[in-house]
Amino acid sequence: MQIDNAIHRIKAAVGAKGWSENSTELIPSMMYSVGCPPGEAKLFVSPLTTEEVSQVMALCNQANIPVVPQGGNTGMCGGAIPDPSKTSVILSLRRMNNVRDLSTLDYTITVEAGCILQDIQGAAEQANRFFPLSLGAEGSCQIGGNLATNAGGINVLRYGNTRDLALGLEVVLPDGTVLNGLRRLKKDNTGYDLKHLFIGAEGTMGIITAAVLKLFPYPQSRSTAFCAIVDLESSLSLLAMARELSGDQISSFELIPRIALETVAKHRDDIQLPFSPGEAEWYVLMEISTSRKNDDLGSLNELILGEAIDAGIISNAVIAQSEKQKNGLWAIREALVEVQKEEGYSIKHDVSVPINRIPELIHLACERVLAICPGIRPYPFGHVGDGNIHFNFSPPPTLPAKKFLEFIDQINQIVYDIVDSLDGSFSAEHGIGQTKVAALETYRSATEVALMKNIKQLVDPRYLMNPGKLFPDPAFNSEAL
Instruction: Specify whether 137 is located in the same domain as 228.
Output: no
Average pLDDT, integer, range 358-372: 98
Query: What CATH number is associated with residue 378?
Result: 3.30.70.2740
432 within domain boundaries: no
Instruction: Specify whether 193 is located in the same domain as 114.
Output: yes
Q: Is the pLDDT of residue 474 over 60?
A: no
Domain boundary among 77, 92, 107: 92
Q: Is the pLDDT of residue 24 over 80?
A: no
Domain boundary among 321, 341, 361: 341
Instruction: Specify whether 354 is located in the same domain as 312.
Output: no
Q: What is the pLDDT of residue 428?
A: 93
430 within domain boundaries: no
- Phi and psi of 43, rounded to 5°? -160, 145
476 band by pLDDT with thresholds 50, 70 and 90 = very low
Angle at 292 between CA 287 and CA 295, to 5 degrees: 65
Q: Which structural domain range is residue 463 located in?
A: 437-480
Which residues share a beta bridge with 226? 285, 318
> What span, in angstroms and rounded, lies between the C-alpha atoms of 132 and 150?
14
C-alpha torsion angle, residues 436, 203, 211, 385 (rounded to 10): 0
As a whole number, the mean pLDDT across the chain is 93
Query: What CATH number is associated with residue 122?
Result: 3.30.465.10
Q: What is the pLDDT of residue 304?
A: 97
Instruction: Specify whether 204 is located in the same domain as 308.
Output: no
Instruction: Specify whether 103 is located in the same domain as 200.
Output: yes
398 within domain boundaries: yes
Cis peptide before 257 (omega within 30 of 0): no
Distances (CA, A) of 232 to 86, 361, 428: 49, 11, 20
pTM value?
0.93
Using N-to-C axis directions, what is the helix angle for 358-372 and 232-246, rounded to 10°?
Answer: 160
Domain tally, the chain: 5
Instruction: Specify whether 199 is located in the same domain as 258.
Output: no
426 within domain boundaries: no
Instruction: Specify whether 255 is located in the same domain as 267.
Output: yes
36 band by pLDDT with thresholds 50, 70 and 90 = low
285 within domain boundaries: yes
Secondary structure of the chain in HEC code, one letter for each residue? CCHHHHHHHHHHHHCHHHEECCHHHHHHHCCCCCCCCCCCCCEEECCCCHHHHHHHHHHHHHHCCCEEEECCCCCCCCCCCCCCCCCCEEEECCCCCCEEEEECCCCEEEEECCCEHHHHHHHHHHCCEECCCCCCCCCCCEHHHHHHHCCCCCCHHHHCCHHHHEEEEEEECCCCCEEEECCCCCCCCCCCCCHHHHCCCCCCCCEEEEEEEECEECCCEEEEEEEEECCHHHHHHHHHHHHHHHCCCEEEEEEEEHHHHHHHHHHCCCCCCCCCHHHCCEEEEEEEEECCCCCCHHHHHHHHHHHHHHCCCEEEEEECCCHHHHHHHHHHHHHHHHHHHCCCCCECCEEECCHHHHHHHHHHHHHHHHHHCCCCEEEEEEEHHHCEEEEEEECCCCCCHHHHHCCHHHHHHHHHHHHHHCCCECECCCCCCCCCHHHHHHHCCHHHHHHHHHHHHHHCCCCCECCCCCCCCCCCCHHHC
Instruction: Specify whether 360 is located in the same domain as 337.
Output: no
Instruction: Specify whether 413 is located in the same domain as 471.
Output: no
Instruction: Specify whether 177 is located in the same domain as 254.
Output: no
Q: What is the pLDDT of residues 271-283, one digit of tens each?
A: 999 999 899 999 9
Q: What is the pLDDT of residues 390-443, one digit of tens each?
A: 999 999 999 998 899 999 999 999 999 999 999 999 999 999 999 999 999 999
Q: What is the pLDDT of residue 74?
A: 85
Q: What is the pLDDT of residue 35?
A: 56
Q: What is the pLDDT of residue 38?
A: 79
> What span, in angstroms and rounded, lies between the C-alpha atoms of 88 and 79?
14
331 within domain boundaries: yes
Q: What is the pLDDT of residues 172-183, one digit of tens each?
A: 999 999 999 999
Amino acid, single-letter form, for residue 175:
D
Residues of the chain above pLDDT 70, percent = 96
Domain boundary among 33, 58, 92: 92
Q: What is the pLDDT of residues 221-235, one digit of tens each?
A: 999 999 999 999 999
428 within domain boundaries: no
Instruction: Specify whether 146 is located in the same domain as 213.
Output: yes
232 within domain boundaries: yes
Instruction: Specify whether 327 is located in the same domain as 236.
Output: yes
> What span, in angstroms and rounded, lies between the C-alpha atoms of 194 and 179?
9
Q: What is the pLDDT of residues 116-130, one digit of tens each?
A: 999 999 999 999 999
Q: What is the pLDDT of residues 227-261, one digit of tens each?
A: 999 999 999 999 999 999 999 999 999 999 999 99
Q: Name the residue with higher pLDDT: 480 or 226.
A: 226
